[in-house]
Chain A
Amino acid sequence: MTTVNTASGLQVPTAWYNILADLPDYVPHEKRPPTDPGTEADGPARLVPQLPLTVYRQSVSRERHIPIPDEVLEQYERWRPTPLLRARAFEQYLDTPAHIYYKYEGASPSGSHKLNSALAQAYYYSRAGIQELATGTGAGQWGTALAMACRAFGLACTVFMVRCSYDQKPQRRAMMELLGARVVPSPSTLTRSGRKVLAGAPDSPGSLSIAGSVGIQYAWEDSARRYAAGSAENHVLLHQTVIGQEAVEQMRRLGEFPDTVIAAIGAGSNFAGLAFPFYRESLAEGRHTELVAVEPKACPKLTRGRYMWDHHDATGSMPMSKMYSLGHDFVPPAIHAGGLRYHGAAPIVSWMHHQKLMSAEAYGQREVFEAGLTFARTEHIIPAPESAHAIRCVIDKAALARKTGRPTVILFSLSGHGLMDLGAYQQYLDGTLPPDEEFDDLVVDPADPADAADPADRGDR
Chain B
Amino acid sequence: MNELTVSARVKRVMTDVLDLGVDTAQLDDGMLLYSTAIQLDSLRLLHLLTALEQEFDCQIDDEAVMSAELTDVGSVVALVSTQLGQARRHASAAEHG
**Residues on A close to B: CB < 8 A?**
30-32, 36-40, 43, 45-54, 56-57, 60, 124, 127-130, 319, 460
Contact = CB atoms under 8 A, between A and B. Distances in A.
Contacts of A57: 50
Q: Is the interface of A mostly helix, strand, loop or mixed?
A: loop
Interface of B: 33-34, 36, 39-47, 49-50, 60, 62-63, 65-67, 69-71
Contact of A51 (B34, B36, B40, B46): B46
Contact of B63 (A48, A56, A128): A128
Contacts of B60: 53
A47 B50 contact: no
Contacts of B49: 53, 56
B62 A38 contact: no
18 contacts: A39-B34, A43-B42, A46-B71, A47-B42, A47-B71, A48-B42, A48-B66, A50-B42, A51-B46, A52-B65, A53-B50, A53-B60, A53-B65, A54-B62, A127-B63, A128-B66, A129-B63, A129-B66
Contacts of A40: 34
Contact of B47 (A38, A47, A50, A460): A460
Nearest to B46: A56
A57 B63 CA distance: 15
Nearest to B60: A53
Contacts of B36: 37
Contacts of A32: 41, 43-44
A129 B39 contact: no
B45 to A, nearest CB: 5
Contacts of A130: 66
Contact of A31 (B43, B63, B65, B67): B43
Contacts of A60: 47, 50
A188 to B, nearest CB: 24
Contacts of A53: 46, 49-50, 60, 62, 65
A51 B50 CA distance: 13
A53 B70 CA distance: 14
A38 B71 contact: no
A46 B70 contact: yes
A38 B42 contact: yes
Most buried by A among B42, B47, B62, B70: B62
Contact of B34 (A31, A38, A127): A38
Contact of B40 (A30, A47, A54, A56): A47
